[in-house]
Amino acid sequence: MRTDEAIASLAARNTFAPMRPPFTDEVPRLSPEGALWVERSLPLGSSPQWDIFDASGRLVAQATLPEGRRLVGLGNHALYAATRDESGIEHLERYAR
């Protein structure tokens, strides 16, 4: 176990970026049409938001999922999201896009 002083010393020596990048660690998703979905970095507790880019890299749309959902897949005309209930069981939901 490290002492509070040792932890404070480690933290003082580390350099952190002044801000987070605009994207998260979530793996970008490629839709069947070839659009790239990239999750946007937002404040904690925000609904997940995805930036959608076309094949030329141009931002063409944004999608916001309902609170508590995470994107798990993209189909031809639907997106699939998962949510977890109070028992810890995940449920799959389908949304038209």
Tally of domains in the chain: 1
Stated pTM of the model: 0.73
Per-residue pLDDT tens digits of the chain, which is 97 residues long: 789 998 888 888 887 776 667 778 889 999 999 999 999 988 878 889 999 999 999 999 999 999 899 999 999 999 999 999 999 999 999 999 8
Supply the range of the domain harboring residue 84.
Answer: 21-96
Instruction: Specify if 35 maps to a domain.
Output: yes
Task: State how far the alpha carbon of 38 is from the alpha carbons of 50, 60, 78, 97, in Å.
Answer: 5, 12, 17, 16
Dig out the tokens for 57 from the structure. 């890299």
Instruction: Specify if 60 maps to a domain.
Output: yes
Instruction: Specify if 79 maps to a domain.
Output: yes
Q: Which pairing describes strands 78-84 and 70-74: parallel, antiparallel, or unpaired?
A: antiparallel
Instruction: Specify if 92 maps to a domain.
Output: yes
Instruction: Specify if 87 maps to a domain.
Output: yes
Instruction: Specify if 11 maps to a domain.
Output: no
Instruction: Specify if 40 maps to a domain.
Output: yes
Instruction: Specify if 6 maps to a domain.
Output: no
**Residue 57: count of CB within 10 angstroms of its CB:** 7
